[in-house]
């Protein structure tokens, strides 16, 4: 059973781009023919947020790639949820594997950041996912459920949360989880929500897949019952390909 919200596609631009390349990408997205019943969100680096918010159209919303755990102040290099909101961001990404595993952010820290951002009116794209050795040791569900639990313990509700399942072994590696592997974890996450939140939360919350999603594999993935969209890395830097991924919602409609 899929989440009952609209299909959701996020583009995480990570630490990429220049004023010029981003102007070109925005113009490609503005002129792309996009299916109307998809929530589309792009996440540029902080320094380009204002440029993108001021120039993007086509119903596309903008997300920060991270935010601080609380109110702003003497936290050099950090950005607060209030600041993101102030310039017109609607979303923020928390718990991305690069922040967990390269920057060492802990589950409870990520949960608290999300709680604060939700409190300040931002939607949260909450990322979970296991590393290759964890998958090979049969610990996928343990790891993912522990990450979900940290969000659940901190936030007061799931209304403005989109869960992104991103197997770490598939991010930027060109290895994609098979549609069946992704569906299996998405279904388990939905069952976890039923058991730990409510049936209503489980049916309403969108669970999206991330990990080497591209124009060639998005339709097959979209057909899976519990995949409600995508969080796209590299392919979101190419306007035409990102549009193809957004429009893979049509594959979903055919199967439902």
DSSP letters of 186-237? Answer: HHHHHHHHHHHT-HHHHHHS-EEEESS--TTTHHHHHTSTT--EEEESGGGG
Question: Tokens 């193809």 label which residue?
Answer: 244
Mean pLDDT across the stretch 167-185?
91
Q: Which of 129-133, 169-173, 200-204 has the lowest mean pLDDT?
A: 169-173
Give catalytic residues, as residue numbers.
96, 166
Identify the band that residue 254 occupies on the pLDDT scale cut at 50, 70 and 90: confident
Cβ count near 181 (within 10 Å): 17
CA 76/CA 70 separation, integer angstroms? 13
Percent of the chain with pLDDT over 70: 98
Instruction: State residue 121's pLDDT score.
Output: 98
Mean pLDDT across the stretch 109-120?
98
**Secondary structure of 45-72 in HEC code, one letter for each residue:** CHHHHHHHHHHCCCCCEEEECCCCCCCC
**Structural domains in the chain plus CATH codes:** 7-255 (3.20.20.70)
134 to each of 131, 141, 200, how far by Cα in Å?
Answer: 5, 9, 30
Mean pLDDT across the stretch 42-48?
98
Q: What is the mean pLDDT of the chain?
A: 96
Mean pLDDT across the stretch 199-216?
96
Instruction: State residue 174's pLDDT score.
Output: 84
Terminal C-alpha separation, the chain: 9
Radius of gyration for the alpha carbons in the chain, expressed in angstroms and rounded: 17
Mean pLDDT across the stretch 185-207?
98
- Inform me whether the pLDDT recorded for 3 exceeds 80: no
Mean pLDDT across the stretch 98-127?
98
Contacts of 228 by beta carbon, 8 Å cutoff, 6+ apart:
2, 3, 5, 7, 8, 206, 207, 208
CA 206/CA 33 separation, integer angstroms? 23
- Inform me whether the pLDDT recorded for 139 exceeds 80: yes
Instruction: State residue 135's pLDDT score.
Output: 94
Instruction: State residue 172's pLDDT score.
Output: 83
- The 3-state DSSP class for residue 252 equals helix
Identify the band that residue 15 occupies on the pLDDT scale cut at 50, 70 and 90: very high
Task: Encode pLDDT of 48-70 as tens digits.
Answer: 999 999 999 999 999 999 999 99
């Amino acid at each position: 059973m899929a989440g009952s919200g609209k299909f959701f596609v996020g583009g995480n631009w990570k630490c990429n781009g220049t004023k010029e390349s981003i102007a070109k990408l925005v113009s490609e997205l503005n002129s792309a023919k996009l299916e109307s019943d998809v929530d589309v969100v792009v996440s540029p680096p902080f320094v380009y947020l204002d440029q993108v918010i001021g120039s993007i159209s086509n119903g596309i919303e903008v997300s920060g790639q991270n935010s601080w755990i609380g109110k702003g102040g003497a936290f050099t290099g950090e950005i607060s949820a209030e600041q993101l909101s102030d310039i017109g961001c609607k979303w923020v990404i928390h718990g991305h594997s690069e922040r967990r595993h390269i920057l060492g952010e802990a589950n409870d820290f990520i949960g608290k950041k999300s709680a604060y951002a939700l409190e300040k009116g931002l939607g949260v794209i909450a990322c979970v996912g296991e590393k290759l050795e964890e998958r090979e040791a049969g610990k996928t569900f343990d790891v993912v459920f522990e990450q979900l639990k940290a969000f659940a313990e901190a936030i007061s509700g799931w209304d403005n949360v989109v869960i992104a399942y991103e197997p770490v072994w598939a991010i930027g590696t060109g290895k994609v989880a098979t549609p069946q592997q992704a569906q299996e974890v998405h279904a388990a996450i939905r069952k976890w929500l039923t058991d730990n939140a409510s049936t209503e939360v489980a049916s309403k919350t969108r669970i999206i897949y991330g990990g080497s999603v591209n124009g060639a594999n998005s339709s097959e993935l979209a057909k899976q019952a519990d995949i409600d969209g995508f969080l796209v890395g590299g392919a979101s830097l190419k306007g035409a390909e990102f549009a193809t991924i957004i429009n893979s919602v049509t594959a979903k409609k055919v199967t439902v």
